[in-house]
Amino acid sequence: MINANRYDKMVYRRCGHSGILLPALSLGLWHNFGKVDNYENSKEMILTAFNLGITHFDLANNYGPPYGSAEETFGRVLKEDLKGYRDELLISTKAGWDMWPGPYGNFGSRKYLIASLDQSLKRMGLDYVDIFYSHRRDPETPLEETMGALASTVHQGKALYVGISSYNALDTKKAATILKNMGVPCLIHQPSYSMMNRWIEEGLTDVLRQEGIGSIAFCPLDQGLLTSKYLDGTIPEGSRASKEYSYLSAESITSELLDKIRKLNEVAKRRGQTLAQMALAWTLREGGVTSALIGASHKAQIEENVKALDNLEFSREELIMIDHIVKGLS
């Protein structure tokens, strides 16, 4: 059953200079929504998110596993449970990483991007997506070709808006200019960003502000490191560090890293938050991020993450302490 009061407590933020409002938290379907996962659990998480006012669902052609299956899962939920709510949803997908064999199933050519979006639309049972992203910068393809393909998807009615992901500051500036000249502004940039990973602060945030581009941070919990999962030094079964297809390995969780995480957890306790809630609040503090992209393995995680919005304010002392811990100064 859909919650009639779903919009009452969610925070919505303007995405750059556009007319779009994004929920402060968006749901990403990178993990736990593939064919290998339990469908009923995946469906429950999607519906829980929507009932909490999360209107934005973030996908990509290669999410799964196997590739494409997260889009199939979402398409099934959309058809069976959310069919009458399409106009209340913001659905995004991406192309840019390896998807099918041969020279045309990867990176940023016009052929790959447009073919991939056509496949994504079929898997989800959609006529259009709200946002279509170039998932990564292709160093071998001219930006004009990649941005031209994005603009074409808008002109063809297959996407309402376009965005880019993981582009550096210089390429973001160039991409925005190319798109603007084609009459299709760059709506949004999706970079990785967290307390432990701050690369966007070295130029990209300034470009986004200057160009009026919104931002949505992926991995704000640093692949689950900024949660309570690993505080006792063990690798829980089912966590990302325990999965062979995850980017996070058990070997990367060192004693030095655990010491930082435990100290950050003490700061969170003093704020009356879990570590995950504080990490999300930090990402959403005054700093230019429109929305934080959360993942989940069960609905309780989504419910807990949304509580981060109850306290988004940080004192100067808290911010200094967090910086010192991350830099290993305390």
Instruction: Give pLDDT tens digits for 128-145.
Output: 999 999 999 999 999 999
Kindly state whether residue 66 falls inside one of the protein's structural domains: yes
Determine contact, residues 85/57, Cβ cutoff 8 Å: no
Kindly state whether residue 39 falls inside one of the protein's structural domains: yes
Task: Give the confidence band of 102 by pLDDT, cuts at 50, 70, 90.
Answer: very high
The per-residue pLDDT for range 9-41, each reduced to its tens digit, is 999 999 999 999 999 999 999 999 999 999 999
The per-residue pLDDT for range 257-274, each reduced to its tens digit, is 899 999 999 999 999 999
Kindly state whether residue 36 falls inside one of the protein's structural domains: yes
Three-state SS at 156: coil
Domain extent at residue 142: 12-223+288-313
Determine contact, residues 180/144, Cβ cutoff 8 Å: no
199 φ, ψ (degrees, to nearest 5): -60, -30
Which pLDDT does position 247 carry in this prediction?
A: 56
Kindly state whether residue 277 falls inside one of the protein's structural domains: no
- Please give the model's pTM, rounded to 2 decimal places: 0.94
Strands (E), 9-88: 12-14, 21-23, 25-28, 56-58
Determine contact, residues 15/290, Cβ cutoff 8 Å: yes
Kindly state whether residue 7 falls inside one of the protein's structural domains: no
Q: How many domains does the chain have?
A: 1
Q: Report the CATH number that the domain containing residue 40 is assigned in CATH.
A: 3.20.20.100
Decide if pLDDT at 242 tops 50. no
In our burial notation (b when 16+ CB lie closer than 10 A, e otherwise), range 195-233 reads bbbeebeeebbebbeebebbbbbbbbbbbbbbbebbeee
Task: Give the confidence band of 314 by pLDDT, cuts at 50, 70, 90.
Answer: very high
Where is average pLDDT lowest: 90-99, 117-126, 250-259, 275-284?
A: 250-259
The per-residue pLDDT for range 204-229, each reduced to its tens digit, is 999 999 999 999 999 999 988 999 98
Kindly state whether residue 5 falls inside one of the protein's structural domains: no
Which pLDDT does position 155 carry in this prediction?
A: 98
Q: How far is CA 234 from CA 38, 49, 229, 251, in A?
A: 25, 29, 8, 11
Decide if pLDDT at 100 tops 60. yes
Kindly state whether residue 246 falls inside one of the protein's structural domains: no
Kindly state whether residue 79 falls inside one of the protein's structural domains: yes
